[in-house]
Amino acid sequence: MTQDVIYIVIFLIVLAALAPLLGRYMAAVFQGRRNLLSPVALPLERLIYRVCRIDEKEEMTWKAYVGDFLWFSGISLVALFLLQLTQGRLPLNPQGFGSVHWDTAINTAISFMTNTNWQAYGGEVTMTYLTQMVGLTVQNFVSAAAGIAVALPLVRAFTSKLKETVGNFWVDMTRAVIYVLLPLSLILATVLVSQGVVQTFSAYVHAQTLEGGKQIIAVGPAASQVAIKQLGSNGGGFFNANSAHPFENPTPLSNFLEMLSILLIPMALCFTFGVMINNRRQGSAIFWAMMVLFLLGLCVSLAAEWQANPAIAKLGVMGGNMEGKEVRFGIGPSVLWGQATTVTSNGSVNSMHDSMMPLTGLVYMFNIAVGEVVFGGVGVGLIGMLMYAILTLFLAGLMIGRTPEFLGKKLESREMIMAVVVVIAPAIASLIFAALATATKTGLASLNNAGPHGLSEILYVYFSAAGNNGSAFAGLNANTPFYNLTTGFVMLVGRFLTIVPALAIAGSLAAKKSIPPSSATFPTASALFVGMLVGVVIIVGALTFFPALVLGPVLEQLLLAAGRVF
C-alpha cells in the first residue's frame, strides 16, 4: 500500500509539473504565435494550406465550423468502412486476413471516427497491418485533433466581442496534428520501442511451447499506434488485451509513460483555456474542479481494491484484490490506470475492469456516465466541464435573482438549453439502449454473468459508447449485429450531441458584448465556484444514474459482503 501511494504521488507531481508547460505551449500554437516548433512545423503547416487551398486567415461562423467538422467526420467514416471491407485484397496483409464483417466494420468505423475506439473484435486476428496503420492510427490522429479543434471556438467566444466568427476548423485541426499530436507521438513511440513495444512489418511468429504445442505470437507496427492512442485519448488496442499485453506495455516505465500521456493533454488544456481567455486563475479553477473529482474517485477505488474480496476473506485468504491485474503492475498502478482512462475518453486498460470490486466499477461507470468531464477526452472534456460550469452559474443566478454571467458574457435561455442537451442527451441514449438490451433475448443472449454484475456489464457497454470511451467490463460478447449497431448509434449521439450544441453556444457567446464585472457578479475563479462545480457534477450524475447504478454495482457490493458472487 505504501509503495502504491508513493507511486501515485510521484505520478501526480510529474503530471502537474508538465501540464502547465504544455498548456502554455498549446495556447501559443492555437493563437498563431511563434513557438518552440515554429522553425520546423511552420513551413509544413503553410505547405498543407497551399496544397489543400486553405486560407488560414479566413474565419468561419459557428454553422460553417460545424458543417466542415461534420463533413470531415462523414468522409472519415466512409473511408474507414470501405478500407475494412477491402483489406483482404490490399497489401500489408501477411496473415491473409479477409474482409471485416459488415456490422463489425460499421461499428469500428463509427468508433474510430468518434474517437471512441470501442473494439468488439480482437485486433490481432481481425485487422491487417494496412488497416491498423492507414485506417485506425490515422483516425487516432485526426479524430483527436478534431476534438481539440472543436473546443477552441468555445474558448475564443469568451474573449470575442460582437463577432459572427469563431475560428477556422481546418487551421485548428492542422495545428493540433503537426504542433501537438505528431511531435509528442514521435517522442513517445521512440521511447516505447526502447522499452520493448513491438514495431515491425514481419509476419506473426510461429513458436513451439515447452509442452510441444504450437503457438502463434502476434506482432506488428504497434508502438506507432500505442503512442497516439494514449496521447489522443483514443485507447484502441493493437492487441486484444490492450495495454495489459506485454507487447504494448512491457515494463513499469512504459506503464508510467503511457498513463502519463493519457492525462497530459486533457489536463494541459485547462491551462490553455486560462491563457487564451487572459485569465489564468479561471483555468486553474477548472483544473482544480477536475482534480478534486479525480482524487475522490481514485481514493474510493483504491480503498475498495486494497481490501480483500469478502467472499475470499471468509476462506481465510487476505490481501488486496489482485484478480484480473498484472502482477508486474500490482493494485496501485492498475487502479490509477483505470481511473485515468475512465475520466478521459480513453478505452485502454492494463487490467480487467470486470474483475474490479463492484465499488470500483461504480466509480469507473460514474466517471464515464457524467460525460467524462474530469479532464475528459482531448478538447471534448473541457467542453463538458464548461457545460457544467454554465449549469452551475445558472443555479447561482437563481440564488441571487440575477441573470448568470460567465467571464463577462450573459448566459441566457439559448445557452442553458444547449448546455442541458450536452449533459443529458448521451445519458438518455445510454440508458434507453441499456434498458432495451436487458429487456430483449437478443441483448441477453451474449451475456455471461447473471444478476447485478450482468446488469453492470450491459450498463458499462452503453456508458462507454455514449462517453466515447471505448473500454469494456468484459463478460459480454458485444460483437453481434445488435450490439454493433446500437452501440454505434450511441457513439454518434455521444460525439455529435456534445460538440454541435457546444459550438452553437460558442457562436451565441461570440456575438454578445462583454459585460464588466460588478458587485453582483459571481466570482468564478474562486474556491466557492470550484466547490459548487464539483457538487453540480456529482448531483447531476447521481440524479440521472442512481436507479441504474443501485441495481448494478451497489447491489452487487452489498451482496458480495454477504458472500454472494455472480
Model pLDDT for residues 522-565, shown as the tens digit of each residue: 889 999 999 999 999 999 999 999 999 999 999 999 998 887 87
Binned at pLDDT 50, 70 and 90, residue 316 comes out as: low
Give the pLDDT score at 365: 95
Give the list of residues 6+ apart from residue 112 with CB closer than 8 angstroms, or none.
76, 80, 135, 136, 139, 140, 143, 234, 236
454 assigned to some structural domain = yes
As a whole number, the mean pLDDT across the chain is 93
CA 192 to chain centre: 21
261 phi/psi in degrees, rounded to 5 = -70, -25
Q: At residue 403, does pLDDT exceed 80?
A: no
Instruction: Retrieve residue 282's grid coordinates.
Output: 479561471
Quick one: average pLDDT of 227-243? 90
Q: What's the predicted TM-score (pTM) here?
A: 0.94
* Sign of the dihedral defined by the CA atoms of residues 178, 491, 64, 515, in that order: negative
- Count of CB atoms situated within 10 Å of the CB of 391: 22
Rounded percentage of the chain residues whose pLDDT exceeds 90 = 80
The pLDDT score that the predictor gives to residue 124 is 87
Q: What mean pLDDT is predicted for residues 434-455?
A: 93
HSE, side-chain direction, 13 A CA sphere, residue 320: 20
What number of other Cβ atoms are within 10 A of residue 215's Cβ?
Answer: 9
Grid cell locating 254: 512504459
Instruction: Look at residue 121 and tell me if it is in a domain.
Output: no
Res 2: pLDDT: 86
Select from 153, 163, 161 the least CA-distant residue to 67: 153
**510 found inside a domain:** yes
The whole-number pLDDT of residue 303 equals: 94
Strand partners, 207: 215
What single-letter amino acid sits at 197?
V
476 φ, ψ to 5°? -140, 125
Which grid coordinates belong to 203? 509476419
Mean pLDDT in residue range 508-527 = 88
Euclidean distance between CA atoms 375 and 394, whole angstroms: 22
User: With b meaning 16 or more CB within 10 Å and e meaning fewer, what string describes 228-248?
Assistant: bbbbbbbbbbbbebbbbbebb
Q: How far apart are CA 85 and CA 106, in angstroms?
A: 10
pLDDT one-digit tens code per residue, 320-363: 888 889 888 999 999 999 999 999 999 899 999 999 999 999 99
pLDDT digits (tens, 9 = 90+) for 173-225: 999 999 999 999 999 999 999 999 999 998 899 888 888 888 889 899 999 99
Whether residue 399 is predicted with pLDDT greater than 80 in this model: the reply is no
Tell me whether residue 300 is in a domain.
yes
Residues 257-273 pLDDT 10s:
999 999 999 999 999 99
From residue 455, give the alpha-carbon distance in Å to each of 16, 443, 472, 559, 562. Answer: 37, 11, 13, 14, 19
Domain of residue 352, residue span: 282-546+555-561
- pLDDT at position 475, please? 83
Nearest to 293 by CA among 231, 366, 357: 366
Least confident of 191-195, 219-223, 463-467, 473-477: 473-477
Given a cut of 80, whether residue 314 has pLDDT beyond it is no
The answer to whether residue 519 scores a pLDDT higher than 80 is no
Helix (H) or strand (E) holding 60: strand 60-61
pLDDT at 516 over 70: yes
The C-alpha cell that represents 272 in the structure block: 490553455
Report, as an integer, the average pLDDT of 398-410: 83
Q: By the 8 A CB rule, do 257 and 188 touch?
A: yes
DSSP 445-506: TTB---HHHHHHHHHHHHHHHHTT------SB---SHHHHHHHHHHHHHHHHHHHHHHHHHH
Please state which of the ranges 73-82, 128-137, 231-240, 416-425 shows the lowest mean pLDDT: 231-240
Element (H, E) at 254: helix 252-276
Joined grid coordinates for residue 117: 475506439
428 sits in which H/E element: helix 413-439
Q: 94-103 — which CB contacts under 8 Å span 24+ positions?
A: 94/129, 94/201, 94/202, 94/203, 94/204, 95/128, 95/203, 95/204, 97/125, 97/126, 97/127, 97/128, 100/126, 100/127, 100/131, 103/480, 103/481, 103/484, 103/485
In a domain, 509, yes or no: yes
pLDDT at 104: 96
Query: Is 372 part of a structural domain of the chain?
Result: yes
Report which DSSP code applies to 101. Answer: P
pLDDT bucket at 101, cuts 50 / 70 / 90? very high
How far apart are alpha carbons 362 and 141 in whole angstroms?
31
Q: Looking at the 3D structure of the chain, how many domains does it have?
A: 1
Q: What is the mean pLDDT of residues 465-478?
A: 90
> Is there a domain that residue 157 lies in?
no
**Cβ proximity of 389 and 533 under 8 Å:** yes
pLDDT by residue (tens digit) across 24-62?
999 999 999 999 999 999 999 999 999 999 999 999 999
334 in any annotated domain: yes
| Residue 317 confidence (pLDDT) above 70 | no
Between CA 467 and CA 294, with CA 362 as vertex, the angle to 5 degrees is 70
Over residues 407-426, the mean pLDDT reads 93
Query: CB under 8 Å to 407, separation ≥6 — which residues?
Result: 158, 277, 279, 282, 524
What Å distances lie between residue 109 and 90, 221, 222, 443, CA to CA?
18, 20, 19, 22
Which of the pair, 314 or 288, is modelled with greater confidence?
A: 288
Question: What mean pLDDT comes out for the span 67-92?
Answer: 96
Q: Is 282:228 a contact under the CB 8 Å cutoff?
A: no
